[in-house]
Amino acid sequence: MAELKGWRDIPIGGMILEAGNAEQYLTGGWRAFRPVFGAAECIHCFQCWLFCPDSSILVDAENEKMIGFDLDHCKGCGICASVCPVNSKVIRQAEGEVARDDPRLCIRMVEEGKFQE
């Protein structure tokens, strides 16, 4: 059995010992929902990119377009879908509740494992 570390050998909780290493941790396996493109045309406003807490929105900087999602790091919070102005417009036009996986949306949140692109 391996030698257990003492309290002096364990870093203080929440302390980042090596800055800039978050990219090494693939956190996408945690999610229950994941973002996918819907039928609505993206206007490339980058609201999703701006608000994504995991920097999981992929952007083609040369063409100034949102091109997809980094599913290795996306935790499925749905913030991208909730701040999307195209989604807001679709919901207003529907005049009622729209499911978060409705295909009419620009960014829709589907249950992990239920939808294949």
Which CATH number is 84's domain given?
Answer: 3.30.70.20
Establish if 13 belongs to a structural domain: no
**What percent of the chain is modeled with pLDDT above 70?**
94
Decide if 104 is inside a domain: yes
Position 6 scores a pLDDT of 82
Length of the chain in terms of residues written: 117
Q: Does 22 map to a domain?
A: no
Collapsed DSSP state (helix, strand, coil) of residue 45:
coil
Structure tokens at 88: 């807001």
* pTM for this model (two decimals): 0.78
Q: Say which residue the tokens 């999610």 belong to.
A: 31
CA 95-75-78 angle, 5° bins:
10
Eight-class DSSP state of 96: S
106 close to 83: Cβ distance less than 8 angstroms? no
Cα torsion for 80, 81, 87, 91, to the nearest 10°?
-150
Residue-level pLDDT at 71: 95
In a domain, 117, yes or no: no
Is position 80 within any domain? yes
Asked whether residue 116 is assigned to any structural domain, the reply reads: no
Range of the domain at 102: 37-111
- Name the DSSP class of 105: S
Look at residue 2 in the predicted model and tell me its pLDDT: 75
| Tens of pLDDT, residues 22-76 | 777 788 888 999 999 999 999 999 999 999 999 999 999 999 999 999 999 999 9
Number of domains in the chain: 1
Residue 26 lies in a domain: no
What confidence category does residue 1 fall into, taking pLDDT thresholds of 50, 70 and 90? low
- The alpha carbon torsion through 22, 28, 32, 34 (nearest 10 deg) reads 110
92 sits in which H/E element: helix 85-94
Q: What is the pLDDT of residue 117?
A: 52
Residue 17 in domain: no
